[in-house]
Amino acid sequence: MKNIFYFRKICKIGGTEQFLYEIAKKYKNHDITIYYDDADPIQLQRLRKLVRCKKHIKGDVVKCNKAFFNFNIDMIDDVEADEYYFVSHANYEELHRVHGGYIPPIDNPKLTHYIGVSQFSTDKLNEYAKFIDSKIKTQKCYNPLTLEPKQKLIHLVSACRLDDKVKGGERTLKLIEALDRYCAENNRNYIWTIFTNLTKIKINSPNVILMKPRIDVRPYIADADYVLQLSNDMETYCYTINEALGYGVPIVTTPLSILKELPITDNEHIELNWDYSNADEVARQIFEKEVKPFKYTPPKDEWDKLLEKGRSTYKKEQKKRYIIKAVKEYYDIERGKWIEPEQNKQWEVDYFRKEYLNDLGLIKVIKEVEQNTIK
């Protein structure tokens, strides 16, 4: 062999793992073999498409021109090479301070060359060499990096109760499967953010994120490439659809009857059949359809004609303050302490705090006050 690279454990994610992949990508026409003791199968699969990969078996001798040891040198006694390189990928001073136990193995007599992957890495390894009175000199060699052409990441958003049978949980799963198939066949990626209640539905796709319900979903909707509403035909207005269209975001829906009342065209809409029989076609359109910019005006409401006229008195009500006392023991977050009713203490709160505690049944309102009278 000409060149071997050794890394004891190739993990699911990591900088040295990426280094090996970048070496393989850029220099795959060189004779390169990567040795490992343990490896994540997905990392190993992508490396094997480019270079030879072999598991290190203790006692099996490997002969090569150059051997590059990354972080670990466990395999070094099973290697017969013309040159032995130690590649420094870390600030070992900080690594030892946080994790302890590891020191760079630069004092091994078989090592002939030392590489730092940056000037910082080089300087730190040379500092350590001086600390242990070693005469080694580290040379700088930056990590390779070749970037694939920039590719649009499709961002999908849904806000629904997945466990609710009328909200299209099964359709969601089938469309996820179709999207994942499309990505596998076309080397594309997407991320589907689903805001939902606690659900028993199991979603195994690495492209889907389940988020807790929240009331400020609109920034996510506005940032999406598509907003999806896969309910049964029970939506009678559907804020999610109207919000998305209002932000100029196209939608993916089932054949909802309400859509006939909304001023939309095929440009801003993709339709999934009730039986999701066209899921693969919908997935393709999500990635390939060219959507022209559009403006959407929702149907005008007429609540101004329905509501009784009269100026609100609520703002004045909000300015009021109240004397209260506890009727149950509870921990008061605002006051930072436990409140016990038997202490019979009273204190002053504003309107919003009074309403909140009163709704929980924790306090009794003693009286309304106009000015702060109790500290």
Q: Exposed, middle or buried: residue 45 (CB in 10 Å: 0-12, 13-18, 19+)?
A: exposed
Residue 373, φ and ψ in degrees, nearest 5: -115, -20
Domain boundaries, the chain: 3-140, 154-288, 314-369
Please check the confidence at residue 246 and state whether its pLDDT lies above 90: yes
Band (200; pLDDT cuts 50, 70, 90): confident
Band (199; pLDDT cuts 50, 70, 90): confident
Q: What torsion, rounded to 10 degrees, do the Cα atoms 273, 279, 284, 287 define?
A: 90
Say what percent of the chain tops pLDDT 90.
Answer: 88
Query: What is the average pLDDT across 279-303?
Result: 97
Q: Do the Cβ atoms of 183 and 176 come closer than 8 Å? A: no
Q: Exposed, middle or buried: residue 17 (CB in 10 Å: 0-12, 13-18, 19+)?
A: buried
Class of the CATH domain delimited by 154-288: alpha beta
Return the CA Rg of the chain.
32
User: Rounded distance, CA 303 to CA 216, Å?
Assistant: 24
Q: Give the model confidence (pLDDT) of 331-340 as tens digits.
A: 999 999 999 9
Structure-block tokens of residue 76: 């070094």
User: Rounded distance, CA 263 to CA 186, Å?
Assistant: 34
Confidence (pTM): 0.81
User: Rounded distance, CA 228 to CA 156, Å?
Assistant: 7
b/e sequence 243-254, b meaning 16+ C-beta within 10 Å = bbbbeebbbbbb
Please check the confidence at residue 216 and state whether its pLDDT lies above 90: yes
Q: Give the model confidence (pLDDT) of 147-192 as tens digits.
A: 999 999 999 999 999 989 899 999 999 999 999 999 999 999 999 9
User: Rounded distance, CA 120 to CA 117, Å?
Assistant: 8
Look at residue 235 and give its three-state secondary structure. coil
Residue 106, φ and ψ in degrees, nearest 5: -75, -10
Strand-pair category, 190-195 with 208-211: parallel
- Residue 375's pLDDT is what? 47
- Residue 104's pLDDT is what? 87
The larger pLDDT score, comparing residue 370 to residue 156, is at 156
User: Rounded distance, CA 330 to CA 328, Å?
Assistant: 6
Please check the confidence at residue 203 and state whether its pLDDT lies above 70: yes
- Residue 369's pLDDT is what? 92
